[in-house]
Structure 1
């Protein structure tokens, strides 16, 4: 994989004269405004209030930590706050370039000042703290910014000191980091700056409405055709960090078990090349560095999802690969639940995504794989092996093909509607149905979901819940209930695109999956629910709403079943070492989120880190003891994974699903006996 321009010594800066409006960009403004006004599912008026939000959003994109622009700069920009709507209507975004040029100058000046700070001999015995509570950040005077940067560089130095990095290497690392961050900004072309500004406008329509320059549009097209070669992780941006949003089944990340959802990637390096810090980088640039040819290696410095602020990262190495549909295919496993002298067998079908390669297979390009087709075969296999119940595992399933979610629903119901799609135009409503009256499985059924189950997963789980066909178990799903459509804005070689929300999914009950997600019938006792996760965590996400119900025969689970199963799960999980460990891990994550400042005193910081690490190790070793395993230390932990490594926790959840199914059967048997005796 060729190195990015940002990693090269010969930096080609974009002259200020090229940072200006062009005819193409003016046309893009016109076409974007037209599209969002007449085709977006929830159009918004472009007025002074909207202008003010664009203004604040653009400044947040450029300087989220408020450490480059001075308060005087912001006061000078205030004259534009309520005029951006007028500029856009006139197809003009020159204001974006004017503000960006000031930002470039401030960043350039700050980078020069930082070089002096990096060479400083810091006193780590002083009791002072660095504020990391972004909600409390305010625009500052130059003197206040100087002090803020002193603390930031001191913290950068302290972090690497804690990792036992020599001071000469620390200084070299930091010099490269901040020089490269400057280079990234100075290499931005006019259309890239314009893209940042336009997305300050489009995201006010919702988090999934985005303007894409031709480079971003090309990357988008690559990702949706599944031809991406990389590590198998869906990434997004959270403040300054590139965050793992979802691990893709069958990819290098999932197979390695060394990187998980919610981990933060802070540095990237090619094989045998230096690590490049990517904190504060654009997502596209980070993705470009991680992407590469099959068989090549990429190194990542990662902060785990439960790392406290200020913790040093861990380094991992992954071999890039192409993620095949076969790797994401549904899989069947069996679990036994002891009962008296015998046991009962249950099946779990894991469904990582809703997939199909029908078109490719028809052209002779590979073996036919499709979710519904594969699951139907696995159901028959499970029935032939005498299972007494089935669980479908949709945890981590981020969606996929809608028609596969609809046809999969049809395996468990007679026939009828599955999902409603409501468009932006009046009376634009479609009710998607399963028309096949055959049923592949009519026995006890559990559907496992978690916070990463999204889109098509939520449609399937919602339909199963509305029909009363399955017990939904787990945690509240992601809440992605909208439909997006990409539209090319202009012709020619450099094609920009607008991706906008043009419809919304509704369950057949009339309830939306948007924002709220699917609420499980039985919530697993594995940790606290994060109210700031999923669709509900996004700025400007469409709210939950309702529409009319479809014409279907609503079903419900037997009276008293859910409360009985929930009570039994609660009793079981309260004494389960696995669930106790999960709850403690969840508590640590929430405690870390409450940290608003970090100490710049080395002794204090090390003690805090050691205490957190010892607490985490104590919890882990308590769990390991319950499994008959020897305790581990921070040094031996990596080389002594839990049994079955990345499959360990899948087996924990699958075993609990089997226990719930077993309780389900016993509840139903008791009910039948009671009715017979009466």
Structure 2
């Protein structure tokens, strides 16, 4: 009763504050459903009993949830005032009760105030466009406010937003836009912000609150609503049932950005990039639902469906005006393979002293596996290891001299895939060790005899390489099987399992969603763990990543680093005598490589800007800085193999504000730009090949060949 009374009073507070604010618009208040309250309680029951490190749901944890929830809503502290946070703090120790008593009114009340504050700030931002700005004033805009205090007054918050809008305006002005064009662009941008804000749903609030709760237990325990569960399954299967069109939200239209080769959308010959979907119908004769102004995910949900079923799209062609004639296109949904996210191969040729080495590169974005297909006995189930195996066979036919596995920004995936992928490069043996909540240690091993690739090997990692990527890289390093190149990896040393809450309570239909819950900690076969420390490369490459504010160590509550006994394993080789020579060659080469030097200059400049955390709002100063930058880029074009391009200059626009063709052009240029770090990693492997065969390679070559089934 006390909670309900406080919520009632707080609801009145929101209404009064909204009326007193300078907002010209209010948003509908969102409320929890009974189903969400039940899902929260059920999740708490599971987490407090079966998590690797169970945390009691009490006032202490409630306080942590409160802080995490506020941070998830307003990490940059540009919406809430200090007085808002003080008022909300009344509920600091009540969130545990909200979950256990199945009354989520409080987290929804918090969100409703947040949503109204967005309206307040954006409405104020739009009002500034009528006044314009004086760009002769010497003042600066703070790029990030995460570590700053909350604004103590409305005037202080208004000044934060004044500078924010002024910076938006100045960026467009420096890109050559006139005042009228700038006002039109920014007014439309802020109007779209308000429209997006009005599209928040009850499920969004619940998802945000539940992740604030789960991530206070550990950073990798998450709640998945039904839609998030579907998306997670798609990311693991690398397939979905649909029409094969990549869509984006653009000016309130669901717009076709790309047609997947071989998909129903592409094969129909009736759709083009830039076409706008304004309606969706189910079945050849079904009523068409108007989706203008809908959220992208809601439109996508209508377009997806059962395999071989028919969906009808109401299309406004790309070249047609808004009042032009539409066309109805019927498509039969099919299974679409997301090949862009699958493993791929390429070959880099490295020539040194007249000798050319071929380095086979396998890029693996995620450790995917179609769990359901595998459980159902489908022998052709989608698998990262299966795909890499095929690519290795192709590279062997191409007679490559070495293989480089590119795991940059590979955030992990299937644990089984990490183990099996390691088995392609080693003789049978342990790959990692797992310790469960009871302290019991299990050794996970590759049981297949022999290696599919027994030649020289390198692994390229960065700060975005996490979990399964770290298991694989660590095993290769511990066995002395290959050279690890790049940055220190993420530092995630925990194992998660997905718990289907509906299966737990035997629901016939999806209702409560899923929990991705930490159930164990994994350890390297040498007894250490990648937790917090990640995998340290044998050869380091320059990094643009701020290591202090990224990776596992940047979280508030990571599990600590620890160590257990080493597993019993036989080394595949010893690279210790090789690494110093490779490092020396690497350092000598990059000291003469102009592109590498330019990269290091850019990284230094970027980090200096981050450290300064301020950007001038004086037009003359910004133009001077831009001129210096332009001159530096122009001078590079004379000596660099990677010429700069005007398409990569700051145009002051956000992604959905550009002409779609221009946006795709920029994306193509960035995709095709020279990958300096990848090329240097290939150079390192070429150096290894040239060294006398008295190291790991000799031992590796003695491994028996693997027989694939």
Q: TM-score, normalised by structure 1?
A: 0.74
Partner of 1:601: 618
Can you list the C-alpha shifts for 1:231-267, whole angstroms capped at 9, x where unaligned? 699xxxxxxxxxxxxxxxx999xxxxxxxxxxxxxxx
CA deviation after TM superposition for structure 1 residue 382, in Å: 5.6
Asked if the contact 2:26–2:116 (Cα under 8 Å) also holds between the matched residues in 1, the reply is: no
Asked if the contact 1:232–1:323 (Cα under 8 Å) also holds between the matched residues in 2, the reply is: no
SS at match of 2:162: helix
CA deviation after TM superposition for structure 1 residue 529, in Å: 7.0
Distance 1:111 1:640 in 2: 29
Distance 2:157 2:692 in 1: 65
Asked if the contact 1:71–1:140 (Cα under 8 Å) also holds between the matched residues in 2, the reply is: yes
Task: Determine if the alignment matches structure 1 residue 471 to structure 2 residue 474.
Answer: no
Asked if the contact 1:565–1:664 (Cα under 8 Å) also holds between the matched residues in 2, the reply is: no
Distance 1:532 1:76 in 2: 30
Distance 1:288 1:614 in 2: 47
Partner of 1:333: 347
2:274 aligns with one of 271, 274, 294: 271
Structure 1 residues 432 and 601 mapped into 2: Cα distance closer, same or farther (>3 Å)? Answer: same
2:176 aligns with one of 164, 168, 171: 164
Distance 2:116 2:496 in 1: 37
Asked if the contact 2:494–2:531 (Cα under 8 Å) also holds between the matched residues in 1, the reply is: yes
Asked if the contact 1:58–1:197 (Cα under 8 Å) also holds between the matched residues in 2, the reply is: yes
Partner of 2:195: 183
Can you list the C-alpha shifts for 1:610-629, whole angstroms capped at 9, x where unaligned? 323433443454323xx8xx
Distance 2:670 2:340 in 1: 25
Task: Determine if the alignment matches structure 1 residue 58 to structure 2 residue 61.
Answer: no
Asked if the contact 1:399–1:453 (Cα under 8 Å) also holds between the matched residues in 2, the reply is: yes
Task: Determine if the alignment matches structure 1 residue 394 to structure 2 residue 397.
Answer: no
SS at match of 1:447: strand
Partner of 1:141: 153
Asked if the contact 1:379–1:441 (Cα under 8 Å) also holds between the matched residues in 2, the reply is: yes
Task: Determine if the alignment matches structure 1 residue 660 to structure 2 residue 687.
Answer: yes
Distance 1:435 1:587 in 2: 46
Asked if the contact 2:236–2:369 (Cα under 8 Å) also holds between the matched residues in 1, the reply is: no
1:102 aligns with one of 103, 113, 116: 113
CA deviation after TM superposition for structure 1 residue 549, in Å: 2.5
Distance 1:506 1:71 in 2: 43
Partner of 1:259: none
CA deviation after TM superposition for structure 1 residue 364, in Å: 12
Partner of 1:312: none
58-67 or 503-512: which moved more?
58-67
Structure 1 residues 548 and 289 mapped into 2: Cα distance closer, same or farther (>3 Å)? Answer: farther
Q: RMSD of the TM alignment (CA)? A: 4.4
SS at match of 1:665: coil
SS at match of 2:448: coil
Task: Determine if the alignment matches structure 1 residue 405 to structure 2 residue 418.
Answer: yes
Distance 1:607 1:443 in 2: 53
147-156 or 371-380: which moved more?
371-380
For residues 456-467 of structure 1, the aligned pairs below 5 Å read 456-467=468-479
Q: TM-score, normalised by structure 2?
A: 0.71
Distance 2:159 2:224 in 1: 37
Task: Determine if the alignment matches structure 1 residue 78 to structure 2 residue 78.
Answer: no
Distance 2:667 2:296 in 1: 31
Distance 1:146 1:165 in 2: 25
Can you list the C-alpha shifts for 1:175-222, whole angstroms capped at 9, x where unaligned? 333333333333433343233222222221233222233343343344
Partner of 1:586: 603
Asked if the contact 2:38–2:102 (Cα under 8 Å) also holds between the matched residues in 1, the reply is: yes
SS at match of 2:96: helix
Partner of 1:306: none
- Provide the aligned length of Structure 1 versus Structure 2: 588
Partner of 2:142: 131
Task: Determine if the alignment matches structure 1 residue 542 to structure 2 residue 559.
Answer: yes
* Structure 2: unaligned runs, 5 residues or longer: 1-24, 249-259, 263-272, 278-293, 305-312, 319-334, 650-664, 700-709
